């Protein structure tokens, strides 16, 4: 009987993968479920096992079941050999789409637990050193060296420490956290177990947004399995180290992706930013030392430990080592996951991997790094994707989201959207963000309507200064980034003084 | 400075004090040394540089939200908030650069874009926004008319303060005050971003969990939360530092007033940050319920009548005092020196109490002086004196901050001692554990962020069995502190042998106490195992037939575990009234002269005999219950009662009324025509605490000054009235001032040797003993050695009360207090506190209610062997089955109609906490009576 693989990833399911699975089963196939390969443009992507490998059939509908099994459907060939995948350097996503996410043996067969096993044979300080040497930096967006953070937690004196995984993936145009957890949850569990051992934490929390029900289910099932196999709980793999892992579901606030708000929320409070110092590494969850890391950071850790810091540090550009999981989204022909060493240019991502816009019109702007990231003008597309490299052009890598816009975009409205997003999602604690976002939106409304344009643009600029320097956290502090990038690079979109009835 | 002529806000350093090694920082060129960890904002303030701020205040942890206090730090990036940035050695800070000026203007412009612009219409007048806008030089608001909150409606539901959201800047100071200081968590921020609004849990303030402590109002930097009195009267013009006259916590307040002399109006009472007992916190009573002082019921003139059937006749002070003196002398002429006596009040000042006992001893010529402390904490005085050598608690309130385990017995601090309860809860939230021994599930069993490690529902009357079982567990499991016992205590072997007896085991006592043995053992282990364990207790301990035994049992427990003589431990009574401690200190018991020295001691009598020029009786006089018995017997015929309503507050009302009716002359001095005044022949108007000059001594032995906010409204201070009665009786008693009375107290009482008004004014407050050995007072007692030398372990044999439940009276009634009301309610019933507790209710367990067909809201008849009353039932899971509970704040309830004359074997403190009763649905007639009574009550202004 033919074995076929149908993704259970939420993105594939949203375009009918579950129905396709039913149809294939009805047609006599043995259906197994995998994560998504990240080729979202091809979903539902059905893979049929053959002697040559798993042959991929893109965009399958239930009606296509018989054709797929008969090899009559349009094919991508052997998926592992597809250039969209072979051109990537998959580290965190190495197993995503390949294995059944809940198959712990399959996970191990594909190299799983090797990192944890090696870590447990080392001292915690050695593990921390290994991560430091790898050059791994915080993939949530801040880019803080993971090893330095872990060292702070390791050296903090406390009876109880925590590791906390930030899985509140709220940036528009990002989905890598969700896909890795849905497609390979054991990798996150392994990364957290390594982190916990390294910093001396006996308890860990995964904070996941409620909008990710598939990921929540997948993670909870995997955690249960990991417990029964001794990778979690008392005396992990006979190491003497205990590690309990809990899943906590958020209540729908973007700000809870900010680490201190996430800790407040984990403690059962209103998701509100904490002032720093103290830093969470010293006073985090319940006031105790806590290593807070993003899903992608933690999912890079098993490879760092399994293959050694040099292998990871060997990838990348400048001070940005290893790979970045880029997420291509927006008006793009081939959206999805592209994991590549740091240093790839934005142009390569947008044109080569993304294939330009879906509408076929010229690319006018790309927003990199989520809703708080800068809009990058095509004349700067040769920038290499790295923390410092992007900062040089007043942009940021963020969580690796790349959102493409064609030439119909109105950049004044995009600037306004930045304020609107901030107004919707601000926790409301600090004044620049709470009131400033609303005032920014209102003032840009005046600009868009052509009222007192130059005076109001000056006011927006002043407001951006107040928010950038005065805000409590990055939410208010970075909102001016997309606003100012739009104003600087597309000034023509803000020049509304010629509008009918406008006054300059 | 105690009286400020020009009103100014209190200094605010922005963030609280922190402890640490000294570091030096340079701020705007000035160098200042502060403990490491001190905020830059506080360091700047200490250096005389005020950094602009809105969300910061030094009573709460830094929050960092307003972004007005941004500064530049050399070699650091960005512009950090000075409130959340700790000082590091060598740090160089600039608080007023062009950059920070611009940022502050930018932030202020945002604030003002969502704030009412008519500052003239603002009640507060000290709105920090207004002052700060001027200071940071904010230009015009350039933002056009956009979204605003200025149209939101005011929440005026609370009787004492308004919440005007239009003026709110969402700084969360109120929310933080409610959670961090008060510990009630009634307030929150609802919504997010621009929609963030302060909310009393989604309802209005009155319907919310809010306990009206006033912390939020005090914390608010704008006009958003403001006292109604401030709105009505406007800003105060001067302030007077004084002390609250409600419970034994003894909070310091700044009375903020306007006007002079008789026109003086209290604008508001603001808790003092430097108040030793309260450190800036308050409760609904002290903060707001002072209006009774100017209530229409207040009696302003002396009155007399020949018989209690006659109408009162207003007379001059001279006539009234003459009448008292003549009457008392006539009684003594006919019935002997011992036929009259006096009762002093725990609500009056030390000085007032002192002169009353002096009048009795010197002018009456007997020792027939007693105090209302008789009916509350007399067992505390006796028990702690026997075991430790001092009739007082061992710690200051601050001590609880060092406790790891709190054993709370028979006390309900969140209702009765709310400001201390907040302090205790803060410690519990920080990780200390609490064991609650109380028949009821009081709030501290489970309240936001506090959960008792053990709730031991000790049945009323079984306290001694309970405390013995605790000690038994500790001793037999080897958890006791052998070294402490051997080096510091006496009677050790006898006690250890006694307590180890099987009859004292948790298992043997379980049938009496109702406490599961394993739970009790776990609690005992927790108490014994803590580095610092402290006992706090209230009237649930003392008001029993074995009240004194129980006090000694707790002292045993503390000694057995070495929990005495340092911070964080001790045996701590929570005193009921403001000056219970002081009135006892002042010699107002019939057997003791001031300083707890027995009247039989010749050398003590010598001191007073030579100073007063009289002979003092060497035999103790009559206690209150003896006075009543003797009155009914005919040998006691004249009574002076100051500030106590014995007809309402003393047990077995019928017996009290019979005694009062039997007397020839009853003299009552009070603010109001109270229940006792119904039996009086002479009424002398008293003065409220706002008129008094003197001192109160709180539960931690802290002597606090009480200062007159306005002149006596009745023309004569109480101590002058008493002196004049003595004079009219032929004894020359004269003082020029209250300070002079304290000087006499200090000169004659060793524990008060160093106390004077001048020193109290200079130091704020002092905890006795204040003498050469402890010139600034004694926060913690029995350090190194007990006052009596060795701590005395007493064999505390459990003897069940004779008050037993029967088939006819199958339930046990216990009584207590509620937050908004105070004692017999004479004060609080004459304030808007009535809003929360307009009547006393009977709490009853669902099972007891169901078998009697009682539902919440039903009028029920409560009867004991001595009397019957009716009140409204509330079915409550807080009660254990078999126990019912009520308060005694309302005279219409007559809760003491049913309480018996059982009392403590040592001190006669009444057994209020145990009365066998029956409860049933009231008949129609009683229901009508009850309804009429409730209407009368509601009709009271």
Nearest chain B CA: its distance from A277 CA (Å): 7
Per-residue confidence at B929, pLDDT binned at 50, 70, 90?
low
pLDDT digits (tens, 9 = 90+) for B451-510: 999 999 999 999 999 999 999 999 999 999 999 999 999 999 999 999 999 999 999 999
Identify which of B79, B106, B170 has the shortest CB distance to residue A434: B170
Rounded distance, CA B435 to CA B325, Å? 53
Look at residue B935 in the predicted model and tell me its pLDDT: 46
Nearest chain B CA: its distance from A186 CA (Å): 35
Look at residue B6 in the predicted model and tell me its pLDDT: 59
Mean pLDDT (whole number) for B526-552: 96
Number of H helices, E strands in chain A: 22, 16
CA distances (Å), A422 to each of A269, A411, A425, B666, in order? 21, 17, 5, 75
Q: Does B81 touch chain A (CB under 8 A)?
A: yes
A34: β partners: A7
Q: Complex ipTM above 0.85?
A: yes
Residues A301 and A320 in one domain: no
Identify which of B64, B111, B143 has the shortest CB distance to residue A472: B64
DSSP character at residue B155:
B
**Residue B938: how many CB atoms within 10 A of its CB?**
10
Look at residue B941 in the predicted model and tell me its pLDDT: 38
Look at residue A461 in the predicted model and tell me its pLDDT: 98
**Cα angle value B839/B840/B842 (rounded, 5°):** 135
pLDDT digits (tens, 9 = 90+) for A159-212: 999 999 999 999 999 999 999 999 999 999 999 999 999 999 999 999 999 999
Mean pLDDT (whole number) for B272-300: 94
Q: Which chain B residue's Cα is nearest to A286? A: B430
Mean pLDDT (whole number) for A316-332: 97
pLDDT digits (tens, 9 = 90+) for B859-869: 999 999 988 99
Q: Does A429 touch chain B (CB under 8 A)?
A: yes
Residues A51 and A131 in one domain: no
Mean pLDDT (whole number) for B569-590: 94
Is residue A94 in a domain?
Answer: no
- Nearest Cα residue to B620 out of B592, B594, B641: B592
Higher pLDDT, B913 or B121: B913
Helix ranges (H only) for B573-717 are: 580-585, 602-612, 624-633, 646-649, 653-662
Q: Does A436 touch chain B (CB under 8 A)?
A: yes
Which phi-psi region, left, alpha or beta, contains residue B704 (left: φ > 0; alpha: ψ -120 to 50)? beta
Rounded distance, CA A88 to CA A83, Å? 8
Q: Where are the beta strands (DSSP E) in A254-298?
A: 290-294
Q: What is the DSSP string of B735-779?
A: -S-HHHHHHHHHHH-GGGTT--HHHHHHHSEEES--SSSSTT--S
pLDDT digits (tens, 9 = 90+) for B227-284: 999 988 988 999 999 999 999 999 999 999 999 888 899 999 999 999 999 999 999 9
Per-residue confidence at A504, pLDDT binned at 50, 70, 90?
very low
**Residue B736: how many CB atoms within 10 A of its CB?**
7
Look at residue B567 in the predicted model and tell me its pLDDT: 97
Domains of chain B: 2-96 (3.10.20.740), 109-232 (3.30.70.20), 303-376+579-767 (3.40.50.740), 389-573 (3.40.228.10), 811-939 (2.40.40.20)
Per-residue confidence at B8, pLDDT binned at 50, 70, 90?
low
Give the residue from A406, A437, A464 where a domain finishes. Answer: A406
Q: Does B63 touch chain A (CB under 8 A)?
A: yes
From the CA atom positions of chain B, what is the Rg in Å?
29
- Contact across the interface for A430 and B194, Cβ inside 8 Å: no
Residues A393 and A439 in one domain: no
Is residue A359 in a domain?
Answer: yes
Q: Which of residues 161-190 of B touch A (CB under 8 A)?
A: 169-170, 172, 188-189
Size of interface A-B (CB pairs under 8 A): 111
- Nearest Cα residue to A340 out of A394, A405, A397: A397
Per-residue confidence at B181, pLDDT binned at 50, 70, 90?
very high
Q: Does A474 touch chain B (CB under 8 A)?
A: no
| pLDDT at A143 exceeding the cut of 90 | yes
Identify which of A425, A442, A466 has the shortest CB distance to residue B193: A425
- Contact across the interface for A434 and B194, Cβ inside 8 Å: yes
With helix as H, strand as E and coil as C, how does B560-587 read?
HCCCCCCCCCCEEECCCCCCHHHHHHCC
Look at residue A501 in the predicted model and tell me its pLDDT: 53
Count: domains in chain A: 4
Domain containing residue A401: CATH number = 3.10.20.600
Per-residue confidence at B939, pLDDT binned at 50, 70, 90?
very low
Q: Does A473 touch chain B (CB under 8 A)?
A: no
pLDDT digits (tens, 9 = 90+) for B339-360: 999 999 999 999 999 999 999 9
List CB contacts (< 8 A) between A446 and chain B.
144
pLDDT digits (tens, 9 = 90+) for B189-242: 999 999 999 999 989 999 999 999 999 999 999 989 999 999 889 889 999 999
Look at residue B576 in the predicted model and tell me its pLDDT: 85
Mean pLDDT (whole number) for B143-164: 93
Residues A196 and A125 in one domain: yes
| pLDDT at B528 exceeding the cut of 90 | yes
Residues A245 and A392 in one domain: no
Is residue A291 in a domain?
Answer: yes
DSSP character at residue B359:
I
Look at residue A33 in the predicted model and tell me its pLDDT: 98
Is residue A260 in a domain?
Answer: yes
Nearest chain A CA: its distance from B803 CA (Å): 48
Residues A263 and A321 in one domain: no
- Contact across the interface for B66 and A434, Cβ inside 8 Å: no
Is residue A458 in a domain?
Answer: yes
CA distances (Å), A284 to each of A156, A158, A241, A280, in order? 11, 12, 21, 4
List CB contacts (< 8 A) between B84 and chain A.
275-277
Q: What order of strands is seen across the sheet that includes strand B92-94?
A: B30-35, B22-27, B92-94, B72-73
Q: Are A206 and A188 in contact (CB under 8 A)?
A: yes
Mean pLDDT (whole number) for B711-719: 93
Domain containing residue A496: CATH number = 1.20.1440.230
Domain containing residue A223: CATH number = 3.40.50.11540
Residues A138 and A180 in one domain: yes
Rounded distance, CA B485 to CA B469, Å? 18
How many alpha carbons fall within 13 Å on the CB side of residue B133?
19
Identify which of B81, B113, B195 has the shortest CB distance to residue A275: B81
Look at residue B813 in the predicted model and tell me its pLDDT: 93
List CB contacts (< 8 A) between B86 and chain A.
277
- Interface test mutation site (partner A, options B55, B62, B100, B142, max chain A beta carbons within 10 A): B142
Is residue A99 in a domain?
Answer: no
CA distances (Å), A256 to each of A246, A248, A270, B663, B934, in order? 17, 12, 9, 74, 52
Q: Which chain A residue's Cα is nearest to B105? A: A466
- Contact across the interface for A439 and B172, Cβ inside 8 Å: no
Poorest-pLDDT segment among A293-307, A455-469, B803-817, B887-901 = B887-901
Q: Which chain A residue's Cα is nearest to B67? A: A470
Rounded distance, CA B489 to CA B496, Å? 12
Look at residue B590 in the predicted model and tell me its pLDDT: 96
| Helix B350-358 / helix B738-748 crossing angle, nearest 10 deg | 70
Per-residue confidence at B926, pLDDT binned at 50, 70, 90?
low
| pLDDT at B21 exceeding the cut of 70 | yes
List CB contacts (< 8 A) between A261 and chain B.
none
Q: Does B321 touch chain A (CB under 8 A)?
A: no
- Contact across the interface for B196 and A434, Cβ inside 8 Å: yes
Mean pLDDT (whole number) for A79-87: 96
Q: Are strands B682-685 and B303-304 parallel, antiparallel or unpaired?
A: antiparallel
List CB contacts (< 8 A) between B38 and chain A.
none
DSSP character at residue A343:
T
Domain that holds residue A419: 411-503
Mean pLDDT (whole number) for B650-669: 93
Mean pLDDT (whole number) for B554-560: 97
Measured in degrees and rounded to the nearest 5, phi and psi for residue B16 equal -70, 165
Residues A220 and A350 in one domain: no
Q: Does A264 touch chain B (CB under 8 A)?
A: no
Identify which of A272, A275, A470 has the shortest CB distance to residue B62: A275
- Contact across the interface for A439 and B106, Cβ inside 8 Å: no
Rounded distance, CA B717 to CA B707, Å? 12
Number of H helices, E strands in chain B: 29, 39
Give the residue from A388, A406, A424 where a domain finishes. Answer: A406
Measured in degrees and rounded to the nearest 5, phi and psi for residue B917 equal -140, 165
| pLDDT at B124 exceeding the cut of 80 | no
**Percent of residues, chain B, with pLDDT higher than 90:** 84
Per-residue confidence at B825, pLDDT binned at 50, 70, 90?
confident
Q: Are B767 and B778 in contact (CB under 8 A)?
A: yes
- Contact across the interface for A425 and B143, Cβ inside 8 Å: no
Nearest chain B CA: its distance from A438 CA (Å): 7
Is residue A469 in a domain?
Answer: yes
Nearest chain A CA: its distance from B190 CA (Å): 9
List CB contacts (< 8 A) between A275 and chain B.
62-65, 81, 83-84
Mean pLDDT (whole number) for A232-254: 96
pLDDT digits (tens, 9 = 90+) for B745-766: 999 999 999 999 999 999 999 9
Give the residue from A385, A406, A427 where a domain finishes. Answer: A406
Look at residue B144 in the predicted model and tell me its pLDDT: 86
Q: Does A158 touch chain B (CB under 8 A)?
A: no
List CB contacts (< 8 A) between A471 and chain B.
67
List CB contacts (< 8 A) between A425 and chain B.
192-193
Q: Helix, strand or coil for residue B837?
A: coil
| pLDDT at B727 exceeding the cut of 80 | yes
Residues A386 and A480 in one domain: no
| pLDDT at B916 exceeding the cut of 90 | yes
Give chain B's mean pLDDT: 93
Contacts (Cβ under 8 Å, ≥6 apart) of B43? B25, B27, B32, B34, B87
| pLDDT at A83 exceeding the cut of 70 | yes
Mean pLDDT (whole number) for B559-578: 95
pLDDT digits (tens, 9 = 90+) for A482-498: 999 999 999 999 998 76
| pLDDT at A131 exceeding the cut of 90 | yes
Rounded distance, CA B567 to CA B399, Å? 5
List CB contacts (< 8 A) between B196 and chain A.
427-429, 434
- Contact across the interface for A429 and B65, Cβ inside 8 Å: yes
Rounded distance, CA A426 to CA A273, Å? 10
Rounded distance, CA A411 to CA B759, Å? 73
Q: Does A468 touch chain B (CB under 8 A)?
A: no
Residues A180 and A215 in one domain: yes
Rounded distance, CA B504 to CA B497, Å? 11
Domain containing residue A65: CATH number = 3.40.30.10
Nearest chain B CA: its distance from A70 CA (Å): 55
| pLDDT at B932 exceeding the cut of 90 | no
- Interface test mutation site (partner A, options B56, B63, B140, B192, max chain A beta carbons within 10 A): B192
| pLDDT at A300 exceeding the cut of 90 | yes
Residues A119 and A189 in one domain: yes
Per-residue confidence at B137, pLDDT binned at 50, 70, 90?
confident
- Interface test mutation site (partner A, options B52, B70, B194, max chain A beta carbons within 10 A): B194
Residues A309 and A335 in one domain: no
Is residue A92 in a domain?
Answer: no
**Which tokens hold the place of B620?**
């103790």
Per-residue confidence at B122, pLDDT binned at 50, 70, 90?
low
């Amino acid at each position: 009987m033919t074995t076929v693989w149908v993704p259970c990833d939420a993105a594939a399911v949203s375009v009918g993968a579950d129905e396709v699975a039913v149809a294939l089963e009805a047609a006599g196939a043995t259906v197994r479920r995998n994560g998504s390969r990240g080729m979202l443009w091809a979903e539902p992507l059905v893979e049929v096992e053959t002697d040559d490998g798993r042959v991929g059939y893109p965009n399958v509908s239930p009606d296509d079941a018989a054709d797929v099994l008969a090899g009559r459907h349009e094919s991508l060939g052997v998926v592992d050999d597809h250039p969209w995948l072979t051109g990537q350097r998959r580290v965190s996503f190495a197993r995503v789409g390949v294995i059944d996410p809940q198959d712990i043996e399959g996970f191990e067969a594909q190299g799983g637990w090797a990192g944890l096993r090696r870590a447990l044979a080392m001292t915690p300080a050695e593990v921390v050193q290994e991560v430091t040497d790898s050059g791994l930096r915080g993939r949530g967006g801040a880019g803080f060296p993971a090893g330095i953070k872990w060292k702070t937690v390791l050296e903090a004196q406390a009876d109880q420490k925590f590791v906390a995984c930030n899985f509140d993936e709220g940036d528009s145009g990002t989905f890598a956290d969700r896909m890795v957890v849905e497609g390979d949850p054991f990798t996150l569990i392994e990364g957290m177990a390594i982190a916990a051992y390294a910093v001396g934490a006996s308890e860990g929390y995964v904070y996941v947004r409620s909008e990710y029900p598939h990921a929540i289910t997948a993670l909870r099932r995997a955690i249960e399995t990991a417990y029964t196999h001794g990778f979690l709980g008392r005396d992990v793999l006979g190491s003497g180290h205990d590690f309990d892992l809990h899943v906590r579901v958020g209540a729908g606030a973007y700000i809870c992706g900010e680490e201190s708000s996430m800790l407040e929320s984990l403690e059962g409070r209103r998701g509100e930013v904490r002032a720093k110092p103290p830093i969470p590494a010293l006073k985090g969850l319940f006031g105790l030392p806590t290593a807070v890391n993003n899903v992608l950071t933690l999912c890079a850790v098993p490879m760092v430990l399994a293959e050694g810091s040099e292998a990871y540090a060997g990838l990348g550009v400048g001070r940005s080592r290893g790979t970045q999981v880029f997420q291509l989204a927006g008006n793009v022909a081939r959206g999805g996951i592209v994991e590549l060493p740091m240093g790839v240019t934005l142009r390569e991502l947008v044109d080569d991997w993304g294939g330009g816009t879906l509408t076929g019109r010229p690319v006018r702007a790309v927003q990199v790094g989520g809703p708080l990231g800068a809009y990058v003008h095509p004349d700067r597309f040769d920038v290499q994707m790295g923390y410092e490299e992007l900062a040089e052009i007043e942009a940021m890598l963020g969580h690796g989201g790349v959102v493409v816009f064609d030439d119909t975009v109105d950049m004044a409205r995009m600037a306004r959207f930045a304020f609107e997003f901030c107004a919707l999602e601000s926790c409301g604690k600090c004044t620049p963000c709470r009131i400033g976002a609303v005032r920014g939106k209102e003032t840009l409304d005046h600009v868009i309507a052509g009222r007192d344009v130059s005076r109001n643009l000056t006011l927006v600029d002043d407001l951006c200064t107040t928010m950038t320097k005065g805000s409590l956290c990055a939410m208010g502090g970075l909102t001016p980034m997309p606003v100012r990038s739009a104003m600087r690079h597309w000034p023509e979109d803000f020049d509304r003084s010629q509008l009918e009835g406008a006054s300059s | 400075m105690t009286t400020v002529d020009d009103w100014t806000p209190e200094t605010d350093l922005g963030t609280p004090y922190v402890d640490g090694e000294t570091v030096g920082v340079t701020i705007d060129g000035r160098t200042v040394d502060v403990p490491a960890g001190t905020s830059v904002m506080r360091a700047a303030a200490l250096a005389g540089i005020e950094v602009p701020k809105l969300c910061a205040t030094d009573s709460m942890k830094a929050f960092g939200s307003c972004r007005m206090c941004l500064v530049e730090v050399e070699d650091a990036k960005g512009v950090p908030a000075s409130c959340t940035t700790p000082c590091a050695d060598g740090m160089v800070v600039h608080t007023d650069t062009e950059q920070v000026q611009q940022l502050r203007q930018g932030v202020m412009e945002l604030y003002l874009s969502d704030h009412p612009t008519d500052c003239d219409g603002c009640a507060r007048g000290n709105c920090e926004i207004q002052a700060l806008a001027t200071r940071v030089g904010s230009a015009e608001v350039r933002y056009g008319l956009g979204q605003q909150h200025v149209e939101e409606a005011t929440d005026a539901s609370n009787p004492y303060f308004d919440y005007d959201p239009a003026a709110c800047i969402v700084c969360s100071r109120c929310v933080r005050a409610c959670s961090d200081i008060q510990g009630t968590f009634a307030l929150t921020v609802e919504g997010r971003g621009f929609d963030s609004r302060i909310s009393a849990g989604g309802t209005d303030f009155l319907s919310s969990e809010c306990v009206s402590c006033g912390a939020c109002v005090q914390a608010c930097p704008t006009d958003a939360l403001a006292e109604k009195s401030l709105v009505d009267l406007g800003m105060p013009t001067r302030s007077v530092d004084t002390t609250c006259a409600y419970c034994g916590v003894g909070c310091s307040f700044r009375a903020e007033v306007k006007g002079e002399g008789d026109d003086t109006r209290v604008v508001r009472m603001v808790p003092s940050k430097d108040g030793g007992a309260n450190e800036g916190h308050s409760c609904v009573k002290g903060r707001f319920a002072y209006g009774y002082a100017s209530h229409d019921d207040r009696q302003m003139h002396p009155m007399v009548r020949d018989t209690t059937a006659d109408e009162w006749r207003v007379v001059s002070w001279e006539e009234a005092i003459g009448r008292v003196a003549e009457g008392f002398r006539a009684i003594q002429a006919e019935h002997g020196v011992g036929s009259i006596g006096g009762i002093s009040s725990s609500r009056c000042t030390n000085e007032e109490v002192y002169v009353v006992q002096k009048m009795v001893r010197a002018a009456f010529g007997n020792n027939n002086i007693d105090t209302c402390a008789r009916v509350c904490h007399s067992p505390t005085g006796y028990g702690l004196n026997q075991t430790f050598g001092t009739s007082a608690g061992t710690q200051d309130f601050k001590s609880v901050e060092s406790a790891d385990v709190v054993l709370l017995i028979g006390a309900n601090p969140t209702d009765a001692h709310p400001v201390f309860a907040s302090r205790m809860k803060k410690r519990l939230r920080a990780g200390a554990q609490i064991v609650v021994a109380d028949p009821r599930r009081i709030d501290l069993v489970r309240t936001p962020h506090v959960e008792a490690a053990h709730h031991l529902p000790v049945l009323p009357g079984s306290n001694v069995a309970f405390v013995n079982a605790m000690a038994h567990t500790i001793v037999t499991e080897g958890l006791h502190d052998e070294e402490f016992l051997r080096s510091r205590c006496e009677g050790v072997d006898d006690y250890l042998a006694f307590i180890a007896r099987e009859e004292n085991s948790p298992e043997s006592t379980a049938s009496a106490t109702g406490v599961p043995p394993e739970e009790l053992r776990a609690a005992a282990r927790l108490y014994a195992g803590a580095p610092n364990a402290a006992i706090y207790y209230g009237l649930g301990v003392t008001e029993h037939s074995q009240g004194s035994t129980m006090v000694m049992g707790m002292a045993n427990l503390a000694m057995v575990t070495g929990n005495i003589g340092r911070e964080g431990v001790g045996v701590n009574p929570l005193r009921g009234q403001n000056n219970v401690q002081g009135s006892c200190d002042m010699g107002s018991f019939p057997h003791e002269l001031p300083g707890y020295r027995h009247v039989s001691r010749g050398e003590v009598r010598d001191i007073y005999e030579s100073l007063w020029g009289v002979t003092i009786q060497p035999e103790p006089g009559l206690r209150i219950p003896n006075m009543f018995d003797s009155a009914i017997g005919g040998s006691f015929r004249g009574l002076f009662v100051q500030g106590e309503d014995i007809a309402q507050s003393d047990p077995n009302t019928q017996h009290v009324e019979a005694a009062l009716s039997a007397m020839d002359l009853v003299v009552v001095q009070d603010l109001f025509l109270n229940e006792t005044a119904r039996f009086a022949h002479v009424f002398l108007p008293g003065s409220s605490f706002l008129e008094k000059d003197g001192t109160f001594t709180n539960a931690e032995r802290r002597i606090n000054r009480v200062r007159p906010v306005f002149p006596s409204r009745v023309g004569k201070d109480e101590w002058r009235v008493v002196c004049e009665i003595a004079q009219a009786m032929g004894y020359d008693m004269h003082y020029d001032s209250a300070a002079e009375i304290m000087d006499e107290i200090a000169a004659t009482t060793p524990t008060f040797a160093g106390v004077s008004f001048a020193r109290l004014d200079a130091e704020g407050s002092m905890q006795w003993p204040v003498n050469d050995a402890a010139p600034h007072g004694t926060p913690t007692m029995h350090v190194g050695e007990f006052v009596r030398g060795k701590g005395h372990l007493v064999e505390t044999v459990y003897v069940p009360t004779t008050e037993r439940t029967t088939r006819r009276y199958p339930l046990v009634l216990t009584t207590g207090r509620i937050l908004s009301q105070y004692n017999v309610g004479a004060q609080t019933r004459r304030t808007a506190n009535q809003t929360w507790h307009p009547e006393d209710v009977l709490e009853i367990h669902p099972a007891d209610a169901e078998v009697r067909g009682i539902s919440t809201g039903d009028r029920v008849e409560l009867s004991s062997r001595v009397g019957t009353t009716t009140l409204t039932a509330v079915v409550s899971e807080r009660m254990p089955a078999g126990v019912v509970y009520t308060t005694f704040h309302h005279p219409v309830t007559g809760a003491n109609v049913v309480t018996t004359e059982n009392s403590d074997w040592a001190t006669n403190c009444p057994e209020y906490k145990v009365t066998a009763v029956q409860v049933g649905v009231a008949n129609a007639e009683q229901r009508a009576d009850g309804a009429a009574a409730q209407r009368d009550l509601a009709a009271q202004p």
